[in-house]
Structures are given as structure tokens and as C-alpha cells.
């Protein structure tokens, strides 16, 4: 019952949040904070054994499969510097700062805190990027960073935790573990991606293909973790490959898969942000001796270190490589605005909290883990602080910086040229097919094929035409609206015939499915 209430409540808040200008993640966190103190609401404690293997894989998968492998490859250097270099840098900077700020906090425990709060969260970054409309290069870098940095942070956390509990971890051992996890995770992804794609393309039913799609992230994560590799990297590699080759899957699978993963992402993202807010009572109960102004002071100090450290890393990592003439020639001019947004967009999220909750209660000698409750509290306040301060200020900041608007006319021209080339080849293919007597069609049906092809070819060019002086619509918009009106009229007739028992429900579903596909095709041709 608590799980149903969590999913239903978070989905309701997220749905309502789409109608207001406040970022949805922040509304969900705020709702979780408020609800956590409502009498009778149970404690929702984040279980790392649930969050990491059950929530993280599908969230990473849906973000990665919508990413562009080619764009990420083009931005490989900044993505690597952020997802690996920055996470390790933040681990040491935040850990060192916490060691000096909090009296009595051992350095190893401070480094555990640093590793926990080091990675910006994939869910937060993707949610904010979608909402604020960042430039494509900045969005690609943030998404690429958020896909990979969890693997770096989890490995750094394991090394720091081993030292903190007395397992005698060494720098050489830590570097070796990191390399094994990274190389192993990528290797598992490379091994799995081809057979999984082959299976997707050879299953004959869209329902079976989408069932497989739901299982893929869990399979990739579990296999990698089983061999002590990075499950995060395995999921990302598989998802990038499948997304890049998605055109080889049949249309019914793509239609269903898009709808299914949108629903999964919506439910999981909503529940994750609500869970963050619901952790407050759990965290405060164990805070112990650190209360009031003292705890607030530590929280503010760690938050400021986290925020400042990102800028300290981002600007040198962005501009120092550009001392090379080759890099400048390849990447072109670069202003300070993009790095500034990247520096400010480092929201933390549920992964940091889940890692923090996995800290053991005791070390090897049986003594309590040093300042575990304080680490949980500082992780929680850092997550909330970044979501509130950076999440709220990011949209107006982007508007204030006035990034150059996307050249929609140039994009439409490129799309029109691509469609024209494809239509020309399809037209030639149709002529060749109709020339074969085995493909003979009555003239009206052959003309219909040509009409549909011509409509696709002209649709994009029409988007560049003048608007209707009465309605303000383009020709393309008018076509889409009239097409929907016609399909709607047909749909009403089919329903009326079913209600009059002239056709049964099975035939109605068949007819409606056909109309749905035609409506989807009309919509896709014009957007």
C-alpha cells in the first residue's frame, strides 16, 4: 500500500506540476518534504539494494537510448573530463573540505562523503535539460556526463569505504579497481549489445519485443555486477547501441516502445524525486549530537564547496585544452556562457542518497562507522540545496544569458533536403517494382502510393511557406488539423456502428488501430 500511495501521489504532483512554471523535480521534492510530516505517513527509507539495481538501470537506459551516440562521440573529451575527472576531483575537494570543517571527522569518512555527493544525477540533469531548452551542445555534455559519472562515483565510494572500514585499501588498488570496473562494464556492454539487438530484430511480435526492451537494462546491469564490473556503464553502452540501431526494428515496436518508456520514465522520475523529500524524517532521526546551527553550518559549507568546486573544474577543463590549435579548429569559437551553465547545472539526486544509505553501520572492529548519520544529513542537504538553488535559478539564468536561438529555418531546410533525397530514391524504387508484373496494381492504388510519397516530400517544404492570414496556421498545420477532423469523423461512425451492433468490438479495435496509425503518420509528417 505505501508503494502504491508513493507512485500515485508522485504521479499526481508531477502531472499538476506540468501546468505551473516551477520545475517539476522541485515540486516533487517539496511535496515529499511536506508529506513526510503528515501523521500516519510511513517512513520511506531508501534501500540501496532496491534503488541501485532496480531504479537506476531503467532510468539510465531511457536517458541513454534517447541520447545521440554520434553527438556524444563528438563531445567525448568534455564528457570524459566531467564524468571521470570532475567526479574524482570533487571527491577529494569535498572530502578534504569536510575533513577540515567538521571536527573529529576522519579523512577516510570525509572522502566517503566526497564520493557520495560528487556525481550530478542523471535524472535531475535530464529533467532540467528537457524543461529549459539548453543549446544542443550543452545538453549533450550534461547528458553524457550524467550517464557515466555514477560509475566513477560508485567505484570511488567503494575504495574510500574500504579504507574507512579498515580493509587496507591502497591507491594502487583503488586505481586498479576503477579500471577493472570501467573496462569490465564497457566490455559487458559490448558483448551484450549485438545479441540483444539481434534478438530484438528477430522477435516477430511487438509485444514480445517490448517485453525484452523492459528487461534489457536489468539484464545488462546484473551481468556486469555479477563479474564485479560497472553495471552503469554496461547499461549505457547497450542503450546507446540499441538507440543508434533503433531504425532496424519494425514500426509497431518503435511506436509501443516510445509510449512504454515514456510512461516508465515518468513514473520512476516522479517517484524518485518524491522519495528524496520523504527522507527528511529518516535523516533527522539519526542526526544525534549535531543539531541546530552547528548542523546547518556544516550543511551550508559543504553545499558551497560542492557548488564552487564544479566551477573550479569546469572552466580550466574547458579552456585549457583549447590552447591547442587543433582543438580550436575542430570545435570553433566558444564563449563563457556554455561552461557557466554546465558549472551551475550540477544538481545532485537520488543516486547520492542511495549510496549514502549503503554505508555500513559499523567498521571491521565492531565500532560504529564514524559520523555516519552526519554524512547522511550532509548528503541530504546537498541534494536538496542543489535541486532548490540551482534547479530554480537555472531557467531564468539561461534566459538572462540569451543564448543564440536555434535556426529553425536552417533545420527545416536540412530536413526538407533529406526528405527530398529519400523520396527520390523511393520513387525510383516504386517505378522499378511496378514495372514487374508480379507487383501489378490497379491505377488508383498505384496513384495512391505516389500521392502519399509526394505528400511526404512536400510537407517539410510547406512548413517554410506563408501562414494563413485568418488563422495564423501554416499550410502544414491546416493539413494536419483537417486530417484529424476527418479521422475523428470516421472514428465516431465506427463507434456508432459498434453501439448499434452492426460491428463487434474486435472489428472496432481493428478499425480504430488503423485510424490511430494514420493519425500518428499525419502527425509525424508535420512535426
What CATH number does the domain containing 226 carry? 1.20.1530.20
Residue among 91, 73, 23 nearest 310 (CA): 91
Q: Which three cell numbers stand for residue 104?
A: 573529529
Residue among 95, 76, 16, 58 nearest 257 (CA): 58
Residue 367 has what pLDDT? 84
- Residue given cell 543564440 in the structure block: 404
Whole-Å CA distances, 78 to 72, 181, 193, 378: 10, 21, 25, 29
- Does residue 367 sit in the same domain as residue 424? no
Q: Please give the DSSP secondary-structure letter assigned to residue 437.
A: G
- Does residue 371 sit in the same domain as residue 451? no
Average pLDDT, the chain: 83
- Does residue 77 sit in the same domain as residue 163? yes
The more confident residue out of 54 and 21 is: 54
Residue 220 has what pLDDT? 96
Residue 526 has what pLDDT? 45
The more confident residue out of 106 and 451 is: 106
Confidence of residue 137 (pLDDT cuts 50, 70, 90): confident
Q: Which three cell numbers stand for residue 42?
A: 510511513
The more confident residue out of 255 and 332 is: 255
Whole-Å CA distances, 456 to 255, 413, 428, 452, 477: 19, 14, 15, 6, 14
Q: Please give the DSSP secondary-structure letter assigned to residue 54.
A: I
- Does residue 298 sit in the same domain as residue 362? yes
- Does residue 87 sit in the same domain as residue 195? yes
- Does residue 414 sit in the same domain as residue 371? no
Give per-residue pLDDT as tens, 139-198: 888 888 988 888 899 888 988 888 888 765 566 677 787 888 889 999 999 999 999 999
Residue 424 to residue 335: CA distance in whole angstroms:
41
- Does residue 187 sit in the same domain as residue 65? yes
- Does residue 428 sit in the same domain as residue 386? no
- Structural domain span for residue 448: 407-464
- Does residue 437 sit in the same domain as residue 479? no
- Does residue 253 sit in the same domain as residue 383? yes
Q: Give how many domains the chain has, as a whole number.
A: 3
> Which of 432, 464, 496 lies at the terminal end of a domain, its last residue?
464
- Does residue 360 sit in the same domain as residue 224? yes
Q: Is the dihedral of CA 66, 53, 121, 87 positive or negative?
A: negative
Q: Is the dihedral of CA 179, 184, 185, 191 positive or negative?
A: positive
Q: Kindly state the percentage of the chain with pLDDT values over 90.
A: 22
Q: Is the Cβ–Cβ distance between 512 and 491 less than 8 Å?
A: yes
Give per-residue pLDDT as tens, 259-290: 899 899 888 888 888 888 888 787 777 666 66
> Which of 445, 464, 483 lies at the terminal end of a domain, its last residue?
464
- Does residue 330 sit in the same domain as residue 364? yes
Tell me if the pTM is above 0.85. Answer: no
Whole-Å CA distances, 137 to 317, 403, 485: 16, 12, 39
Greatest mean pLDDT range, 55-64, 234-243, 323-332: 234-243
Give per-residue pLDDT as tens, 396-438: 888 888 777 666 667 667 767 777 777 788 888 888 888 887 8
> Which of 401, 434, 454 lies at the terminal end of a domain, its last residue?
401
Residue range 205-231: mean pLDDT, rounded:
91
Is residue 105 over pLDDT 70?
A: yes
Confidence of residue 466 (pLDDT cuts 50, 70, 90): low
Whole-Å CA distances, 27 to 6, 32, 56, 393, 419: 14, 9, 21, 14, 42
Amino acid at each position: 500500500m505505501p508503494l502504491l500511495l508513493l507512485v500515485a501521489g508522485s504521479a499526481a504532483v508531477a502531472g499538476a506540476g506540468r501546468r505551473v512554471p516551477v520545475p517539476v523535480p522541485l515540486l516533487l521534492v517539496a511535496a515529499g518534504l511536506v508529506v513526510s510530516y503528515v501523521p500516519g505517513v510511513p517512513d520511506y527509507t531508501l534501500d540501496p539494494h532496491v534503488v541501485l539495481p532496480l531504479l537506476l538501470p531503467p532510468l539510465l537506459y531511457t536517458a541513454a537510448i534517447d541520447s545521440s551516440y554520434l553527438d556524444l562521440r563528438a563531445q567525448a573529451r568534455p564528457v570524459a573530463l566531467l564524468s571521470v575527472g570532475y567526479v574524482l576531483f570533487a571527491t577529494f575537494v569535498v572530502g578534504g573540505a569536510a575533513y577540515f570543517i567538521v571536527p573529529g571527522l576522519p579523512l577516510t569518512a570525509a572522502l566517503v562523503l566526497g564520493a557520495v555527493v560528487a556525481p550530478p544525477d542523471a535524472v535531475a540533469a535530464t529533467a532540467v535539460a528537457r524543461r529549459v531548452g539548453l543549446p544542443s551542445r550543452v545538453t549533450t555534455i550534461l547528458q553524457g556526463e550524467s550517464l557515466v559519472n555514477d560509475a566513477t562515483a560508485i567505484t570511488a565510494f567503494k575504495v574510500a569505504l574500504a579504507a574507512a572500514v579498515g580493509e587496507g585499501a591502497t591507491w594502487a588498488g583503488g586505481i586498479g579497481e576503477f579500471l577493472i570496473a570501467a573496462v569490465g562494464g564497457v566490455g559487458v556492454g559490448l558483448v551484450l549489445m549485438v545479441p540483444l539487438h539481434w534478438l530484438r530484430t528477430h522477435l516477430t511480435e511487438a509485444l514480445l519485443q517490448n517485453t525484452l526492451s523492459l528487461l534489457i537494462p536489468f539484464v545488462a546491469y546484473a551481468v556486469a555486477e555479477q563479474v564485479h564490473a560497472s553495471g552503469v556503464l554496461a547499461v549505457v553502452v547497450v542503450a546507446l547501441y540499441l538507440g543508434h540501431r533503433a531504425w532496424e526494428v519494425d514500426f509497431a515496436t518503435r511506436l509501443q516502445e516510445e509510449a512504454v518508456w515514456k510512461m516508465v520514465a515518468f513514473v520512476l522520475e516522479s517517484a524518485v524525486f518524491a522519495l528524496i523529500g520523504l527522507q527528511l524524517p529518516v535523516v533527522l532521526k539519526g542526526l544525534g549530537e549535531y543539531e541546530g546551527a552547528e548542523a546547518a553550518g556544516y550543511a551550508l559549507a559543504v553545499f558551497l564547496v560542492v557548488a564552487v568546486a564544479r566551477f573550479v573544474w569546469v572552466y580550466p577543463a574547458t579552456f585549457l585544452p583549447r590552447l591547442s590549435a587543433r582543438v580550436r579548429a575542430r570545435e570553433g569559437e566558444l564563449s563563457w556562457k556554455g561552461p557557466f551553465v554546465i558549472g551551475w547545472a550540477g544538481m545532485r539526486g537520488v543516486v547520492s542518497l542511495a549510496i549514502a544509505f549503503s554505508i555500513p553501520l559499523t567498521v571491521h572492529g565492531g565500532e560504529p562507522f564514524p559520523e555516519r548519520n552526519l554524512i547522511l544529513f550532509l548528503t541530504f542537504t546537498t541534494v536538496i540545496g542543489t535541486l532548490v538553488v540551482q534547479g530554480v535559478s537555472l531557467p531564468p539564468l539561461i534566459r538572462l544569458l540569451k543564448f543564440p536561438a536555434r535556426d529553425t529555418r536552417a533545420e527545416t531546410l536540412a530536413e526538407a533536403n533529406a526528405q527530398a533525397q529519400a523520396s527520390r530514391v523511393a520513387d525510383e524504387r516504386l517505378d522499378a517494382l511496378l514495372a514487374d508484373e508480379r507487383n501489378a496494381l490497379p491505377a488508383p492504388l498505384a496513384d495512391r502510393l505516389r500521392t502519399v510519397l509526394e505528400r511526404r516530400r512536400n510537407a517539410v517544404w510547406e512548413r517554410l511557406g506563408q501562414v494563413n492570414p485568418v488563422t495564423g496556421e501554416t499550410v502544414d498545420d491546416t493539413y494536419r488539423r483537417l486530417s484529424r477532423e476527418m479521422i475523428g469523423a470516421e472514428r465516431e461512425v465506427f463507434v456508432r456502428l459498434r453501439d448499434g451492433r452492426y460491428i463487434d468490438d474486435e472489428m472496432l479495435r481493428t478499425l480504430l488501430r488503423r485510424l490511430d496509425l494514420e493519425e500518428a503518420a499525419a502527425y509525424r509528417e508535420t512535426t
